[in-house]
Amino acid sequence: MQFSKFGEKFTQNSGILQLMDDLGNALASDQPTNMLGGGNPAFIKEVNEVYLKILNNIVASENDLHRNIALDSVANYATPQGDVGFIDTLVDFFNRNYDWGLTRENIALTNGSQNAFFYLFNLFSGKYADGHDKAILLPLAPEYIGYADAHVDDSHFVAVEPAIDDVSHNGETGFFKYRVDFDKLNSLPALQNGDIGAICCSRPTNPTGNVLTDDEMAQLDKIAQQYQIPLIIDNAYGMPFPHIIHTDTTLTWHDNIVLCFSLSKIGLAGVRTGIVVARPEIVKAISSLNAIINLAPTRFGGAIVKALLANDTIQDLSLNHIRPFYAKQSAFAIGLLKQTFADLPQVKIHKPEGAIFLWIWFKDLPISTQRLYQILKEKGTLIIPSEHFFVGLDTANYRHAHECIRMSIAQHDDTLAKGIACIGDVVKAVYRGEMV
């Protein structure tokens, strides 16, 4: 069977397809798997109890039209912009907590943030009417694996290799941190020539857990305004929910910034609800795309979290349950990694500043981490190799891009312990030349 170019592009192997296939197959399998490769959030007892209570309440409740709230949220379409009641609740929440002066025209909903980035990347890159072929600038590689194949034609990304600093963490050595290399970024021909349509970054960064500093964000904001292009910020793990950030940060918005949020990492990945805060022109464009591609975004996620936003309970869950859980898991996993690789100083961990992953660098590893992934998969441990995350870079001669792995810390302690032990055994054998 022959597909169009669109079909050929979206049916080829991709990093995000590999990740989601591995996740689904592992969950459906009756074979034990150390699932350290997915992005699924953890099941946190205190958080799940809140959701169960809400679900029971909305199943038993009626709205002002005397319709069952749960049934109404799944039986009726929203507008293409999204459920109006949920949007109004979000407007009140953001204005109450940040004083941004938002109106209903500043928020659009999507079927997950992946859906939102598909829209945004295709709105701001590719062929323009003036003849420019514009790209999305990723100021700090590595970046989120799900961005890589989001364009409907070809790939339109430009990225900058990171500056890498050796740092300490909690008084310990063996850590490093990525920073934006602004000298390289500002000298990019594509930026200077007007061939960049938008700047995009995740904060905290998936896959590394890096959190761009307020100063780095201010510089990116200034560059975006200088070149009259939007700055898109992916807050899937960030402020104000799920707020899995372990450093001091400020969340800023004005009409040249596009903020993207998600309900996934507060533990509601299955409701597929993305939130975009932007200027009205962008919101209208997203609404138009929603109408054509989805008719309307899902409503059920909003039905669950409206009350949590209205009384700021969502912040309590984030700050007092979700963030502490991942901080604990991070410390536990780092302790195991430091013990496992105590005799291998070339193994370093990215400073854990946020998100639900650890990023591990096996300096001068004799094989690629794509090959390491295959070996570990055969032994029942899933990770994600680094090659997929350096979107927008030619990594053929960039060895660092083939030496790292992303490891989820959202699993139970015993899964982390077994998975890290397996990684340690295999990596040590690889360094000794016993495994290729």
Do the strands 347-350 and 357-362 form a parallel or antiparallel pair, or are they unpaired?
A: antiparallel
Residue 405, H or E segment: strand 404-408
- Range scoring the smallest mean pLDDT among 3-17, 125-139, 271-285: 3-17
Per the listing, tokens 């109450």 go with: 96
Among residues 312, 346, 376, the one where a domain terminates is 312
What band does 64 get if pLDDT is binned at 50, 70 and 90?
low
> Do 42 and 97 fall into the same domain?
no
Does residue 64 fall inside a structural domain? Answer: no
What is the distance between the alpha carbons of residues 234 and 276, in angstroms, rounded to a whole number? Answer: 10
Count the domains in the chain.
2
395-436 pLDDT tens trace: 999 999 999 999 999 999 999 999 999 999 999 999 999 877
Domain of residue 255 covers 77-312
DSSP per-residue string spanning 136-171: EEESSSS--GGGTT--SSS--EEE-PPEEEEEEETT
What is the distance between the alpha carbons of residues 392 and 157, in angstroms, rounded to a whole number? Answer: 5
> Do 90 and 164 fall into the same domain?
yes
Does residue 61 fall inside a structural domain? Answer: no
pLDDT exceeds cutoff 90 at 193 = yes
> Do 358 and 395 fall into the same domain?
yes
Running DSSP on this structure, what letter comes out for residue 41?
P
**Global pTM value:** 0.94
> Do 99 and 19 fall into the same domain?
no
> Do 221 and 284 fall into the same domain?
yes
What band does 37 get if pLDDT is binned at 50, 70 and 90?
confident
How many angstroms separate the Cα of 100 from the Cα of each of 111, 135, 243, 251, 419?
A: 24, 29, 19, 11, 44
> Do 9 and 158 fall into the same domain?
no
81-103 pLDDT tens trace: 999 999 999 999 999 999 999 99
- Which two tokens mark 375? 């070996």
Does residue 65 fall inside a structural domain? Answer: no
> Do 197 and 229 fall into the same domain?
yes
User: Residue 45: CB partners within 8 Å, gap ≥ 6?
Assistant: none
Among residues 292, 312, 332, the one where a domain terminates is 312
> Do 286 and 341 fall into the same domain?
no
Does residue 62 fall inside a structural domain? Answer: no
CATH number, domain at 209? 3.40.640.10
338-357 pLDDT tens trace: 999 999 999 999 999 999 99
What band does 212 get if pLDDT is binned at 50, 70 and 90?
very high
Exposure of 87 by Cβ count < 10 A (0-12 exposed, 13-18 middle, 19+ buried)? Answer: buried
Residue 404, H or E segment: strand 404-408
Does residue 57 fall inside a structural domain? Answer: no
Among residues 251, 283, 312, the one where a domain terminates is 312
